[in-house]
Structure 1
Amino acid sequence: MKLIEIIRYKWNSFKKALKTSAPSEKPQQYKKASLFPNGKANKAALSLVMRGVAEVLSQKMNLPWKVEASNNTLSYEQINSSKGKICYYITDNPETPQPDTLVEETALNVIDQFDPRACAIHLIYCALAANLDKPWEQTFVIDDKQLLEYTGLVRRRDLCKHEQLSILYELLRQPAQILARIVWPKQGKVGAFTVADLKIWDITVLRDYQTDKAGNTKLVGLKVIGKAGAWAKYFLNKSEYHYSTGVITKKTVQKLFSIGKQNIGAARMLVWLTFQVQPGKQDSVMGKTLMEIAYGAEKVSMVEQDRQLRRSLADDFETDLKVVKDAGWHVEVNQGTVWLKSEHPTKRPIGYWNDLLNTTLRIQLPTDAQEYLALPENQHIVNNNEDTLKPPTANAIREARKAKGWSRASFATRMGKSISWVDAIETGHRQVSKKDLPKIIDELELE
């Protein structure tokens, strides 16, 4: 055997022995559980505050906005005679600690840009917050893979990933552009309170870019780090104040996202029903009420004077009801409205418009939501936040940092920490705190 072959043989044997005797530890992988643990439904914060945000995103200028005389700020006051007062405002700088409330013309321009699909994002935030122990203190984290799945965008084969993520980025900020001032009177044992913090959602969207061979920069990943505002201390607090949650289904979220821009009437119905229909109850809704939710009271009133417009709106209403049913909602039409109840309706009878306005629709939660409510409480838990993740091991942190090519000083700068802090966590003398966990996972890409 030649000398070179002998050296190669011994070197290969040595490398094989190293692998067998001392396997290197790979950076620890973290995988968040699905927001929908049974693949179908989950609890969500569906309080009046959350309902108002959904109304603003979906109803837009159909709401009774007014200009406050004191500062010319545009506001919408949620009508709530028996409870507290909630005034909603619009901002275009939601990332700042104290966002500015916009005056009339500027606010109207922002409202005009709101996309009903952002209601689906808002519902996702509602679910993430409701599954934290103290959402007014803790943050939730959600990445692009989860968002693409929950919204159904992952199935859009006509869009490249850059286009999908660009759509998401535009929508992720919109729920945070709505602010609220809450003044609540004493109710029973619950004392009066005022929420001075106007932020409803504190949202940070981190984006990753790559440059292709042609020099084009493309969005390849994003992540949302979010926190509920101070409202959550009063409406998502199990030990004090109010605690208000409901159920959302994955099917509703995906349907809402897919039809939001093209089929606004059906989207508005889905949003309204999500907040309106209570678990375990069958709500009765007048046809006129649901039509006004879908198309606005002004339009419903206007078409009454025009036969052709009435016919067109009745067509839209039938179509939109089918979309609501496709999303899993149980909708039963009054027995007397035969032409509307039939799957293959015949010619509409004389007086069909009044029949349509006065009919009663009985609506129940989707089967997926009812099945979720029937599950034992311990099967409702979702591990989607930093509190449920084990801190990475010292070796995992060290190996991930080296894989990035960062020095300890560089890593310390990125984390906003000292080099001694890096030394402590990489030697196991200190564990990563809950507060630093989301950032270290993001920086080292340990998901």
Structure 2
Amino acid sequence: MNTSKVGYLTLNENPWSNLLRRQVIDVISESNKLTDRDIIFISFLPFYEFVRNRQNISNLSKELKRSNIKFVPIPLPFPIPIYSIKEGWKNNWKYDWIRMSLVIIYTVPILIIVKHIYTIGTYHCRSYPISVSTLITKYIWKDIELIFDPRSDFPEENITRGDWSRTSWSYQMWKTFEKELCIHSDYVIAISDTYVRHFKKIYPDVNVKIIPNNVNTDDFSPDQVDTLSFRKEHNICESTTIICYSGSMSENLWNNPDEYGCAIEKLLQLELELKFLFLIPAKSNTLLQSTLENYDISDGDYLIKNPDFDQVPTMLSYADLGIYILDNNSIRIGTKFVEYCSVGLPTVVNQNVKGAAEIIRKHDLGAEISIEFNSTGKYCPDRELSNIHSDRIHDLISNKSEIAQNCQDFAEENFDTSVVAGKYVEIY
């Protein structure tokens, strides 16, 4: 048995955020209960976070200590926050070839020091950037075990975000790094079969283990809520199907409102009784409202709520279906799909959400539709959904209770935090 410690590494991500609390803190806390190896959580944070969020850092350190996990926050001299009147302070850091060189120069010596201080033998790296630094450290010390745990197809994701193009130096750099990580990592974590195929296409002999996104199924379970009162309060007929979107929403990025404006336009053409519920940050309300207005979607067709994170499961329980649409191809599953599934919401996805769409097809967890968004000309296609896709939506609504149970069972068996933590422990 390897008696050295496991170092879980993050870079430039706030571990007290809702996303990392679910995907990192909950998982390592559960993993620590199941393994004899000590876990050290090492988080590289921008220097100003040690002032702005010193209380969060202190609270997290105490919380993890109660779980017998040591928290080691390490200051980064970058990125420098930028202030604008429109967006306020923003941490805008693109991992292009210049900035990534700074990351490597700064973090590799620290990783070497950390290895000796805490006798770390296994580095579990969340995301591409910190994995590259750890890979370079592994070149120096061959006995280091590297677990490369990407949550997205990072090089392609940055093309979608507009950070670089396929012909840019930065993209070519990241594809080179990606191949090296596939070759030299002891394990590469794939969150779905679509990721397995992605990595095997890069390096056929890559050692891949499928560990999906996690969700606390006890928290994200169908609440016994007074659905009739909610519907009465918002003048929603009992026969109306409520379709819910939950998550962030930003212009010209993943989860942009145009994707949903177009999708809603197509779904409303099916002449079903539908109401769309959006659970989004308050700062996105105006953007969403103006976009839906551009698609001639009336106020009566949708409802916007801004719940705190702990209120999201209850709000999801008011809905009948979930929805997840992307205008660019992605191999991702998406945290929102995992949460929908746990709450028992059959999900409508389009063909671009490849990871979720594949799982939905295989396990009868919702319906896949096809919307071909245009990169030039009119963004939203004029044609209606095909008869096949229309029938899928009708069948989904007719059988939503049965499919809802499929979703809950699948989430408990595959996405629950304790299940995911156990899979990590197997490779520790």
TM-score normalized with structure 2 length: 0.26
TM-score normalized with structure 1 length: 0.25
- Asked which structure has the greater CA Rg, the reply is 1
